[in-house]
């Protein structure tokens, strides 16, 4: 990353690495580590670099650089052609979580999520080093948002199916300190209370977020070169800002099963963004989609409420989607029917722009030798369409007219014609198909199926919902060493 104190970032990563030596003993922080941290978080610049370290850790291939985006996550969801055991995702796609390679990948996801949480919690210990109220509020609010988001991610993948197991089922640990002491596996209700507490405090602290004035592309987002997180305003629109945190809260309510509250929270945010165009978070327009510039916003980054930046991501995406690609959309007879038949149409901008029927290009730069395609360096974590879907789902039964209205608003921005309301069952199917069309490659669909406890659509046919499929196994080391479990 440019313009960042490389020596300091290296120090920070050394601290985090030392403090997170293994999955089973990640809280074994030595006194020497604390000395390093005392020096690392002296002032605002150090905290800015520490935040950059957290965001950077989230771009690793074990998390949103691959596994929790298009690779592991979407192999589970059934988007790709995976026909034989020579494919690295074969056992994943067959939900064989006991296979050693799959076990290792699941363990790494668990460990890396909690490692990022630990990085966040280390910084909380030194927040009193920041004297300025406004800057301290921004840092603390951003950290609280990150901590809640990352815990909710652990819950999505490893936690219970609330719809089936209930609000008092066993969830996952929620770490609020950098203490060595392992934390208990909370019940789901308590887990959500802690996450909500973090998010509500973050919303209060971020009440004067500069994002409200500078907008999504202020202070770096529209820069034509590689970007970074070297100061609080840099790439403000793609970090844990006020709008991202409010979207996280809506997601929490949906995960909890409180769809009405999720829909109300999401709709309020949608309306606020519409009323304040200077914030510049909006659905793509036909002009945006048909823009002829080489660095076109093919991944619809202007719709992102929360994202992370991985500079030169083209290089790491090439093995999956370039020559010799391992991830090929299962188009013929499967995605073809989704995108062009039923409520779909061949005019769908996503089908055309992402080349779903051919060499899938959503995650590649227009110039194969260029790594500087800024708009394609954003890794989407929460986007405006997700808020639309929350509101649509919340109103499928209680206010289907609103659901149809919002579906049609979104469909119009994707080159699709309007639908009309026939009955609730048909509307639900159209809604699910729209979600499937929207999130290919984004690591969203499998946990969407999980939350609904819905069949998984795959080229080979429907896979019945099952707790054994939807709950990734807790790593054995965690089961062994965390005696509070």
pLDDT tens-digit series, residues 178-204: 987 899 999 999 999 999 999 999 999
pLDDT at 376: 80
Write out pLDDT tens, residues 9-18.
Answer: 344 444 444 3
pLDDT at 228: 61
The rounded distance, in Å, linking the Cα atoms of 205 and 248 is: 15
- pLDDT band of residue 114 (cuts 50, 70, 90) is very high
The rounded distance, in Å, linking the Cα atoms of 128 and 146 is: 19
Mean pLDDT of the chain: 89
pLDDT at 133: 85
pLDDT at 366: 72
pLDDT at 311: 82
Question: How far is the CA of 178 from the CAs of 15, 27, 173, 175, in angstroms?
Answer: 12, 7, 13, 8
Work out the percent of the chain whose per-residue pLDDT is above 90. 73
Residue 34 has pLDDT above 70, yes or no: no
Collapsing DSSP states into helix, strand and coil, what is residue 253? helix
Burial class of residue 271 (count of CB atoms within 10 Å of its CB; 0-12, 13-18, 19+): exposed
For 175, residues 6+ apart whose C-beta sits below 8 A from its C-beta are 114, 117, 118, 121, 147, 151, 183
pLDDT at 166: 98
- pLDDT band of residue 462 (cuts 50, 70, 90) is very high
The rounded distance, in Å, linking the Cα atoms of 99 and 72 is: 14
Query: Average pLDDT for residues 204-230, to the nearest whole number?
Result: 75
Helices (H), 58-132: 72-77, 90-93, 100-124
Between 378 and 376, whose confidence is greater? 378
pLDDT at 333: 94
β-pairing, 378-383 vs 456-458, is unpaired
Collapsing DSSP states into helix, strand and coil, what is residue 305? strand
- pLDDT band of residue 236 (cuts 50, 70, 90) is confident
Between 376 and 59, whose confidence is greater? 59
Residue 266 has pLDDT above 50, yes or no: yes
Query: Average pLDDT for residues 6-11, to the nearest whole number?
Result: 40
The rounded distance, in Å, linking the Cα atoms of 12 and 182 is: 23
pLDDT at 238: 86
Domain 6-481, CATH: 1.25.40.390
- pLDDT band of residue 372 (cuts 50, 70, 90) is low
The rounded distance, in Å, linking the Cα atoms of 66 and 74 is: 10
Picking from 22-26, 125-129, 297-301, 348-352, which range would have the lowest pLDDT averaged per residue? 22-26
Strand partners of residue 306: 382
For 413, residues 6+ apart whose C-beta sits below 8 A from its C-beta are 283, 284, 285
pLDDT at 88: 93
Residue 297 has pLDDT above 70, yes or no: yes
Residue 108 has pLDDT above 80, yes or no: yes
For 458, residues 6+ apart whose C-beta sits below 8 A from its C-beta are 78, 93, 330, 334
Query: Average pLDDT for residues 229-234, to the nearest whole number?
Result: 76
Residue 205 has pLDDT above 90, yes or no: yes
The rounded distance, in Å, linking the Cα atoms of 75 and 441 is: 9
Cβ atoms of 73 and 105 within 8 Å: the answer is: no
pTM > 0.85: yes or no: yes
pLDDT at 4: 33
For 102, residues 6+ apart whose C-beta sits below 8 A from its C-beta are 91, 92, 96
Domain map of the chain by residue range? 6-481
The rounded distance, in Å, linking the Cα atoms of 232 and 51 is: 9
Query: Average pLDDT for residues 149-163, to the nearest whole number?
Result: 98
Rg (CA), the chain: 21
Write out pLDDT tens, residues 416-446.
Answer: 999 999 898 999 999 999 999 999 999 999 9
């Amino acid at each position: 990353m440019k313009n960042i104190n490389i020596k300091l970032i290296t120090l920070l990563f050394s601290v985090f690495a030392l403090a997170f030596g293994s999955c089973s003993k990640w809280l074994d922080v030595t006194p020497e580590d604390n000395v390093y941290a005392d020096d690392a978080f002296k002032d605002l610049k150090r905290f800015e670099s520490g935040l950059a370290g957290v965001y950077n850790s989230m771009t690793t291939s074990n998390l949103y650089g691959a596994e929790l985006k298009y690779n592991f996550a979407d192999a589970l969801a059934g988007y790709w052609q995976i026909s034989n055991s020579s494919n690295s995702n074969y056992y994943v796609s067959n939900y064989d979580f006991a296979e050693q390679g799959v076990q290792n990948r699941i363990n790494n996801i668990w460990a890396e999520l909690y490692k990022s949480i630990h990085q966040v919690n280390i910084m909380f210990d030194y927040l009193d080093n920041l004297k300025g109220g406004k800057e301290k509020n921004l840092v603390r609010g951003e950290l609280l948002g990150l901590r809640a988001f990352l815990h909710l991610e652990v819950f999505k993948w490893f936690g219970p199916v609330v719809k089936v197991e209930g609000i008092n089922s066993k969830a996952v640990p929620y770490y609020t300190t950098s203490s060595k002491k392992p934390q208990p596996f909370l019940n789901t209700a308590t887990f959500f209370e802690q996450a909500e507490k973090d998010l509500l405090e973050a919303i209060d602290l971020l009440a004067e977020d500069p994002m409200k004035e500078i907008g999504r592309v202020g202070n770096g987002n529209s820069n034509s070169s590689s970007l970074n997180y070297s100061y609080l305003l840099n790439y403000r629109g793609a970090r844990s800002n006020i709008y991202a945190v409010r979207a996280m809260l809506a997601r929490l309510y949906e995960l909890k099963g409180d769809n009405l509250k999720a829909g109300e929270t999401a709709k309020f945010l949608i309306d606020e963004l519409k009323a304040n165009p200077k914030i510049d978070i909006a659905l793509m327009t036909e002009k945006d989609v048909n823009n002829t510039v080489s660095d076109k916003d093919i991944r619809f980054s202007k719709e992102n409420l929360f994202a992370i930046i991985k500079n030169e991501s083209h290089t790491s995406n090439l093995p999956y989607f370039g020559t010799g690609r391992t991830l090929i959309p299962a188009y013929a007879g499967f995605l073809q029917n989704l995108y062009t038949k039923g409520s779909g149409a061949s005019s769908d901008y996503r089908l055309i722009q992402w080349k779903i029927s051919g060499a899938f290009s959503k995650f590649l730069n227009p110039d194969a030798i260029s790594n500087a395609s800024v708009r394609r360096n954003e890794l989407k974590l929460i986007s405006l369409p997700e808020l639309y879907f929350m509101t649509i789902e919340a109103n499928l039964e209680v206010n289907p007219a609103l659901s149809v209205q919002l579906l049609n608003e979104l469909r119009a921005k994707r080159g699709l014609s309007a639908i009309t309301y026939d009955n609730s069952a048909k509307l639900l199917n159209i809604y699910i198909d729209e979600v499937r069309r929207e999130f290919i490659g984004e690591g969203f669909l499998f946990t969407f199926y999980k939350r609904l406890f819905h069949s998984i659509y795959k080229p080979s046919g429907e896979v019945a919902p099952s707790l054994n499929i939807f709950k990734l196994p807790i790593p054995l080391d965690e089961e062994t060493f965390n005696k509070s479990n």
